[in-house]
Structure 1
Amino acid sequence: MKRLILIAFVLLLSVGVQAQDTQRFFETLTGKYADNDGFSASMLTSDMFDLYLKRKKLDETSEVAAALKKLDRIMVVSQSKVGLGIEALSTGVNKSEKPKNESLEVLHGELLNHYKGGGFTLLKTEKRMGEDVKVYLKKENDKISSLALITNSSAVTSLVELDGDIDLANVASLSSALNIRGLENLNKIDNKSSYYLYGTGASEYFDQGRMEVIEARAREMAERQVELSEEQVKRIQERTERQAQREMEVAERYREMAERYQREPIFLNYPGDSTVYFLNGKKVDADKIKDLKKLDIKTIDVKRDDKNNEITIVKITTK
């Protein structure tokens, strides 16, 4: 009996220590980066999960509900590069003069240093399609008590940490239940895919070139602010930031699709790109192509336009 009480006490103590460590790290990150444009951070505890289950109207017997009930907390931290770029341009600050703690590289390094210690073990490391993915685990009595997923690309650095009794087979399903930015990265723990993709050719993702296009637009808007009133300047800044954020999200989805399918997702245009579609020799719009059924497709040819390298030409013939 004394032995059981001692084991229970040790388990409760370890859970308490982990909760304190997670809370301290969350406060450290928000204290350093919360003022950055494009930064977001969320901390959910077990008492909040029921609210999400009710709002999503999920079956309490589902795998998602079962996975949530075993968790103690979820921490999600994300920093987008677009936010940093817009902030620098709108304030007239040169990139080289920005504080180091506002860069994705510094945040990524801080995340890695934290999880390399503290009893975590590296489960998975992968780099492809311009993104670095690392998964760290911590075990207690042969059970996974903590999981940390760190992703870093040219556009976004993000962290997802789960604490509790973790089942690796079900964690990816949490992203569908909790609509939190960054939580979709849980799908990268198990990146098996049976999805079908039209098209061939090398994958392209949200690279530095497209970041520069977005920032150039913001720079042009910033230069015009000199002749405008304070209210006009404010409206332009807000509009520019919203547009940049939308373009970043679209481009990030493009990169994720390219990584998932190992091919170029030709039906999702990225900012600045132009795709021209031909169906059985006749030029059509994208909606016409999207209505096609894959079993009706005979051949697909994808290439860049000879005169304009920024234009993609997709030629499809049906059976």
Structure 2
Amino acid sequence: MDSTPGAGEIAFDCPFFRIYKDGRIDRFQGTDTVPASLDPHTGVQSKDVRFSSDPDLSVRLFLPGHSDPARKLPLLVYIHGGAYCIESPFSAIYTRHLNTVASAAGVVAVSVDYRWAPEHLLPAAYDDAWAAVRWVAAQALGERGAEAEPWLRDHADFDRVFLAGDSAGGNIAHHVATRAGVEGLPGLRIAGVVLLQPFFRNDGPDKLMEIIYPSSSGATDPRTNPAYDPNLKKMAAQKALVFVAERDHLKERGRSCYEALKKSGWEGVVEIVETEGEDHVFHLFKPGSDKAAELVKKFASFLNQDSGARQCL
């Protein structure tokens, strides 16, 4: 019998994973992966590219079919959800989602990997996502030491970059956009941010966040609660779109982010869209539904508003 203190004692339990007091985790889903490939349904190609050797992390790139090399496409940097503990860009659910969005919107997409909690406590995921976006910026600048990635350099418009994510990934995308506004991100112009049913903290206790982000200041931490972020007004984007779902227990946290942006002094335009009768990340679990199709259509439209194609010179 294991006599390690906390062995077998559960610290946090949910249908997707279980965390023990000794730091172990059992994952019940969100660990399977599928290879990059040509998607027969959308014609979108994908491939995996390493952006960091320490830690060892990659992105999955998505390129729409029949991409014209003389026409630059908007660039979507997408950060997956999964409560910081499960899922990846290489899972079937996110590969399908990015194939769909890349096809519908006609964008090049970069799906970002980050280290899981609790093995790697927050802010590791925030830092990994920032490193991925800086790698994209290095591609834009043609920096020495950054191996050229032709899908980005040949097809992506680095003046039309969008940051997006769902659930925990929405939180991370918001953080990256704000950090870019504070620190700068030479080589990229962040045109917009899309948050799909984002996972933010509210003013109450949050057992999961207490476990996976022990160094956090708590409910008022600006990384996890935009209402307390003094730099929110500096968010590097011209516009933002927040999706919430009527039956989602996180709905009010998404609304709180929307309200915080409006009150912060940020000079961009923010819009909120609520899907009636649906729950958290329904578009991932029911991708063939009419309401999922409506969400993707709105998402795609947002990525293409006022964004005429630029010609290669």
Name the larger-Rg structure.
1
TM-score (norm 2): 0.25
TM-score (norm 1): 0.25
